[in-house]
Amino acid sequence: MTTAAHVPSDVETYLARVRAALADVPAEERDDLLAEVEASLHETASETGGSVAAQLGPPEDFAAELRSAAGLHPSTAPPAAGLREMIERVASDPRVVASARFLRELAPIWWAVRGYVALAALALAAGASWSRSHGAVPRIGNAELGAVAILLAVAASIALGLWSRRAMRARLPLAVLNVVLLAAAIPVAAHLSHRAQPATATSIIIQTEPVPGLAYNGAPVDNIYPYTRDGRLLHDVLLYTGAGTPLNVSTTAYDPYRRILSTKAGARVYNAFPVRYYEPGTRVVLRPNAGPSVKVPRIATPPLPVRKRRHRGR
């Protein structure tokens, strides 16, 4: 029999799986079968330079052929052993091994994501509010503390992952934790996608009743003080809109002390400014030139020519 030291690793693995498939065969008879085929397996591997399984098929099928050639009964291995063999076969597949190696290299990325998902899931479960400017940050007291909590959770998750690579007993509990956090990532992702949607601008029009009388920016105006360009306050200035409508102030409220101009026909004029008031019990305006404290700017534009015009009805 060729010594194990000279058997290529591929052949050695193949033989181990054939031996496992023949586990129910008596040991002496099984050793005789394997002694007969080991040399041919070694020769096949040396000649082809490829996988023995690719040339001869799966080890379990090859073991079944050996049984048939030797006139042995079919395998009576228990179902658990067959399942274990199937798992071992899948685990030893080169594609599975390469995928596992690739996922192992990506593990630190998952560790960081896992830390954030754990904190975000707890924030959702606790009904915490979230930052308006940074929608992925839960408010733990405030947004700044929420960002610090995220960094701490990510750092703790990475440290746990590094420790788990050395602690074999912790791998199963961590595997369960990873499954739970993968499930928790679904509501977290749904929450983040909902917050990432741009807010739809909604125009709200509040219908208000118009302010009676004269108003400026929605606020009622009870007086106007017209000044000339040289800062002189004018009296009894009549104001009109572009359509010729008088800008009246308080035409309905009873105010016995208000000085109201009248036409020759006796009609009252309510668009004369500034509005003045008599002293109670008299027809005297005590301070006719009183006005607000304003700073009239110095006008450099030449004045327009003034031409007197007689209006109809005067």
145-174 pLDDT, tens digit per residue, is 888 989 998 999 898 888 887 776 777 788
Query: Percent of the chain at pLDDT above 90?
Result: 4
More confident position, 213 or 16: 16
54-78 pLDDT, tens digit per residue, is 777 788 888 888 888 777 766 555 5
Residue 200: what pLDDT? Answer: 53
Residue 75: what pLDDT? Answer: 58
pLDDT of 252 strictly over 80: no
Residue 70: what pLDDT? Answer: 76
Domain spans of the chain?
3-91, 94-198, 212-284
Q: Which range has the top average pLDDT, 3-12, 134-143, 146-155?
A: 146-155
Alpha-carbon distances of 65 from 4, 11, 73, 77, rounded to whole Å: 23, 17, 11, 16
Residue 314: what pLDDT? Answer: 47
Would you call 42 helix, strand, or coil by DSSP? helix
Would you call 261 helix, strand, or coil by DSSP? strand
pLDDT of 4 strictly over 50: no
Residue 310: what pLDDT? Answer: 62
pLDDT of 35 strictly over 60: yes
Residue 5: what pLDDT? Answer: 42
Nearest to 181 by CA among 142, 154, 141: 154
More confident position, 94 or 83: 94
Query: Percent of the chain at pLDDT above 70?
Result: 78
Alpha-carbon distances of 41 from 2, 64, 68, rounded to whole Å: 11, 16, 18
Nearest to 209 by CA among 220, 197, 199: 220
Are residues 11 and 45 in contact, defined by beta-carbon separation less than 8 angstroms? yes
Mean pLDDT score of the chain: 78
Residue 90: what pLDDT? Answer: 66
pTM strictly above 0.85: no
